[in-house]
Structure 1
Amino acid sequence: MLSLLSDLLWSKVLIALLIGLGVWFTIASRFVQFRYFGKMFGILTANHHEADKRHLSSFQALILSVAGRVGGGNIAGVAVAITLGGPGAIFWMWVVGLMGMATSFFECTLAQVYKTAEPDGAFRGGPAHYIERGLGKNWKWLAVIYSILLLVTFGIGFIALQSYAVATSLQDAFDIPLYYSGIGLALVVGLIIFGGVKRIAQVAEVLVPIMAGGYLLIAIVVLGLNFSSIPDTLMLIVNSAFGLGPVVGGGIGAAIMMGVKRGLFSNEAGLGSAPNVAAVAFVPHPANQGVVQSFSVFIDTILLCTCTALIILMGTAYDPSLADSSQGVALTQASLATHIGEWGRVFVSIAMLLFGFSTVLYNYYLGENSVSYLTGGRGNEFLMNGFRVVVICLCCLGAIMDLGTVFGFADLTMGVLALANLIALAMLWKKGLRVMQDYDRQLKAGNPAPVFRAEDFADLDVDPEAWPRHPQTNQQA
């Protein structure tokens, strides 16, 4: 039943909504993800000023969201997509990624608009907040359902799955028993999550550039060794996407379904998970964070997923006649080994370890944000500590459990999660567009650092503590 419902959701409903809304957002915003592509790179080299120690900078929010987006989907998910959907699945991953950049821009911009200030001065936000504040109190039921699904999917299900991925990576690379890895992961995660989102961001700020940079570096080495094969491999991907050439995987339908499904699973654009992190940043204008989060989709799908795809397709381990979903990490490991020798297997295991660990931290924060929303956001430290204990237990148990059913259930709840968020985005589209147009106008007027003036958006029900109606306060950012 889980499989049947999941297939219906992913093979029909979400494909239409994800690509349809992504195309609509792209056209109606005049290709916002391409217009501001240069500014995305500027985020990495800018002087990342923080208002004070209570807030995350825009750069830290980017790193934290990349920590969540970049995970097993970039290594195992791409391999599964190619195995079941053929090389053409990668083309549809690109489509989802490029259109998803526009979707991510708007969902993360809205997360900033509707963020709320906590008693300690920090911010919280995400789909639950923009559904309730943006659509009105009558839609609070949808916000509550979204928060429950987010907690169950990311805060519980995916933490157990990532724990298993980390433990099996350590077992493959260093022959460490699964339960030892689970205990070790639980201890390290416990030390970090009890320090709050600031400590998570500080860890991610060190870990993410190392893991993503290292993976890109090894991919560049592989591309250099197979430079002459790159054009043919790219043509194979494009031809397969439209059924040209030999049929591999499950044909065009499977290529599209696997590309969309694995693309969303990897970059999470439209899913509503990244806006929870985007809302935490202290920025002068909501669109700033929209630009930043759009860039994180590019890093995940266009850069890292493509790297994995080329490593697999230019190697000799991939057999198009086999359509076995179990060939996830193993296929990527075997493919890298055909390029650089057996130590490539160890490298992939270590990459999975780092990607999985960073994703556990990210998933924890999504769960924490859900707990905060569902309990009213104030005076819930006892429940929050209880959730942290649950996460630590999940890290231990997830390492040794059979997670097949958990994965099937999480696949379904993630689909419903995406559906709820995409419906909300479609209804809030005009409000997001107004904020983008305000950003556009200020840039066109010669202001290199646009500022959001809450008094100009009095009808949007923004939190006056998060966006005070004093332009000089925002100028400090």
Structure 2
Amino acid sequence: MLAEINSFLNDLIWGNILIYLLPVLGLFFTVSSRFVQFRYFFKMFNILRDTVHDKEGHISSFQALMLSVAGRVGGGNIAGVAVAITLGGPGAVFWMWVIGLIGMATSFFECSLAQLYKEKDGQDCKVYRGGPAYYATKALGQRWLGVIISILLMITFGFAFNATQSFIITTSFESSFEIPTYVTGVLLTFIFAITVFGGIKRITKLSEVIVPIMAVSYLLIALVVIILNFDKIPSLITMIVTEAFNPSTAIAGGIGAVLIQGAKRGMFSNEAGLGSAPNVAAVAYVAHPVQQGIVQSFSVFIDTIILCSCTAFIILLSGVYVPGNEGVQGVLLTQNALIEHIGPFGGYFVTFALLLFGFSSMLYNYYLAENSLNFFSKGNVTLFNAFRVFCVALIVWGSMQDLGSIFTFADLSMGLLAVINMVVIALLYKPVIALIKGYDKQISEGKKPVLRYNNYNEFNIDKETWKEIVDNINDTRKEDKK
């Protein structure tokens, strides 16, 4: 009965609400910001180079980006894309691209809001906290809504998504090396525990190393596959676009199933509008909220347009995928496809890629859950340690569960969170538009933008936090000129 209720709620949220809410609001954010994700696309590189961060230990824009990419780039890129293709056919890839491009604007809005409404961590003044719970409370004055968002974030990321990542990693190792899932689960849990008990700074430092290595490695192996099958690429892209609007009769559910699978797996992978990335975006030490909004929108591009496409091409260029055949799906479909392309090494590569992708995502997921707990616990050390123990225990539990039940549960909690967060962002679009105008004005004046916090009195921001940041950055710039 629980499974039926879960399935009913999933169909309601994804098939009747988010399927319209995601693209409509994404288009609204895109148009109202004058296509901000494309206008500012190339500014991202200068921002990462020029962003000033405090020497006393604040987290930089690049570190926040790497932590965000660590979360976005995970099992969803390898197993999630495979599930989308299995259930929705090649056309699901097209809708993943659409959701990704539109989602870049959504991510810009939510991450800029997170920066604008961030506050100092009571435990550590060198770390900031922020996210949808914070901007819903401060901007809308609805603390109860912030509490609900925090609880859903904890359930979705600290519990459901980490259990999902654990399952994906351990089953991959079992397939490649015949290692029992519980053995890999225990080892994974041990490493995870050591890292999370070290706090956000240890998590960001580890992500800063892991993420570039794993992303570049996966991109290179996909390029090898594409080069080996270069003559097939035009027909493959044509098939993806055609199947998006006229799916094969072997795909149960027709175009509706194709669109829903593309949207669900696209959001599971890039998380735009979900309310997760803003928690990380708020941590970064930047001069203006728009700077981190630009950087975070680029992470959606990296995740969906680049890395998800890599997995899709690997699968669809192989002979492993058969329309309508759901016998082999998830990570095993990706592994089998890569084995066909480059031999047994392909299976081992996917396994270790999943280990790095999945583990970095687990650290990111844990941070989101911890940030949510902090929203209403405000640094209770005993509660935090008990929460960490519980999250660690779930890693072992997730390694021994069924793929379908975990994905279904994650879809439900993710869908509820997305609906609430998207509505909140839509209500708060005016502060973001004001931020964009202020940023553009300073650029046109030939200045390096900083937040002119006194211009945002109507939006109830923490002016003391921003005064300290802006004063510090201005002092640093003066020193640099000398």
The alignment status of 1:439 with 2:439, answered yes or no, reads yes
Q: CA deviation at 1:471?
A: 4.2
5+ residue gaps, structure 1: none
- Within a 5 Å distance, the mapping from 1:13-162 to structure 2 comes to 13-43=17-47, 46=49, 49-119=52-122, 120-121=124-125, 122-136=127-141, 139-162=142-165
CA contact (8 A) 1:117 1:463 kept: no
- Give the Cα–Cα distance (whole angstroms) in 1 for the partners of residues 189 and 318 of structure 2: 36
Alpha-carbon contact 2:114-2:282 (below 8 Å) kept? yes
- Report matched runs for 1:136-285 at 5 Å: 136=141, 139-243=142-246, 246-250=248-252, 251-285=254-288
Residues 1:48 and 1:287: Cα distance change in structure 2 (over 3 Å): closer
Equivalent position amino acid for 1:249 in 2 = I
Whether contact under 8 Å (2:73, 2:270) holds in the other structure is: yes
Which SS does the other structure have where 1:316 is aligned?
Answer: coil
What is the match of residue 455 of structure 1?
454
Give the counterpart letter for 2:10 in structure 1. Answer: S
Match of 1:345 among 344, 347, 351: 347
Provide the rounded CA distance (Å) in 1 between the counterparts of 2:404 and 2:471: 54
Is 176-185 or 146-155 further displaced after alignment? 176-185
Q: After superposing the two structures, state which structure 1 stretch, 380-389 or 17-26, moved more.
A: 380-389
Question: CA separation in 2, counterparts of 1:62 and 1:307?
Answer: 21
The CA deviation string for residues 433-457 of structure 1, in whole angstroms up to 9 with x for no partner, is: 111111111112212x310021111
Structure 1 window deviating more from structure 2 (438-447 vs 108-117): it is: 438-447
Q: Which deviations, in whole Å up to 9, do the C-alpha atoms of 1:409-466 show, x marking residues without a partner?
A: 222111000001001001001111111111111112212x310021111222112342
**2:137 partner letter:** E
For 2:51 and 2:469, the matched residues in 1 are separated by 22
CA distance in 1 between counterparts of 2:36 and 2:102 reads 10
Is 396-405 or 19-28 further displaced after alignment? 396-405
Superimposed CA distance per residue, residues 280-313 of structure 1 (whole angstroms, 9 cap, x where no aligned partner): 0000000000000000000000000011111111
Post-superposition shift, 1:320? Answer: 1.2
Q: Which deviates more, 415-424 or 177-186?
A: 177-186
Q: Deviations over 1:121-172 (max 9, x none)?
A: 1100000000000111xx2111111101111111112212212222222222
Note if contact 1:157-1:410 (Cα within 8 Å) is conserved in structure 2.
Answer: yes
Secondary structure, counterpart of 1:66 in structure 2: helix
Tell me which residue corresponds to 2:480: none
Residue 329 of structure 2 is matched in structure 1 by 327
The offset of 1:194, in angstroms, is 1.2
Could you tell me the percent identity over the aligned residues? 55
CA distance 1:175–1:53, change in 2 (3 Å)? farther
1:28-84, CA deviations, whole angstroms, 9 ceiling, x for partnerless residues? 11100000111123345x155421343110000000000000011111111111111
TM-score of the superposed pair, with normalisation by structure 1: 0.95
Which amino acid in the other structure matches residue 128 of structure 2? Answer: F
**Are the aligned partners of 2:51 and 2:286 in contact in 1 as well (CA < 8 Å)?**
no
Match of 2:302 in 1: 299
Which 4+ runs in 1 deviate beyond 6 A? none
Contact 1:40 1:291 in 2 (8 A): yes
- CA positional deviation for 1:405: 3.5
Distance 1:148 1:352 in 2: 28
Per-residue CA deviations over 1:234-280 (Å, capped at 9, x if unaligned) read 11111111117x44423211111111111111100000000000000
Residues 339-385 of structure 1 show CA distances to partners (whole Å, capped at 9, x for unaligned) of: 1112211111111111111111011001100110021x24x111111
Aligned partners of 1:404, 1:78: CA distance in 2, in Å?
Answer: 15
Matched residues in 2 for 1:240 and 1:165: separation? 28
Between the aligned partners of 2:174 and 2:440, the Cα distance in structure 1 is 51
CA distance in 2 between counterparts of 1:51 and 1:239 reads 51
Counterpart of 1:149, as a letter, is L
The answer to whether the Cα contact below 8 Å between 1:453 and 1:469 also exists between their aligned partners in 2 is no
Q: 2: distance between equivalents of 1:303 and 1:334?
A: 21
1:97-129, Cα deviation, whole Å (9 max, x unpaired): 000000000000000000011232110000000
Q: Which amino acid aligns with 1:266?
A: S
1:316 maps to which of 315, 319, 331: 319
Residue identity in the other structure for 2:416:
V
CA distance, structure 2, for counterparts of residue 76 and residue 43 of structure 1: 32
TM-score normalised according to structure 2 size: 0.94
Instruction: State yes or no: 1:288 paired with 2:283.
Output: no
Counterpart in 1 of 2:6?
2
Q: Contact 1:116–1:465 at 8 Å: present in 2 too?
A: no
Contact 2:87–2:324, Cα closer than 8 Å, also in 1: no
CA RMSD of aligned residues (A): 1.6
Cα contact 2:119–2:129 (8 A) shared by 1: yes
Count of residue pairs brought into register by the alignment: 469
Structure 2 distance, partners of 1:51, 1:460, is 26
Q: Would you say the 8 A contact 1:117–1:465 is kept in 2?
A: no
Q: Are the aligned partners of 2:52 and 2:473 in contact in 1 as well (CA < 8 Å)?
A: no
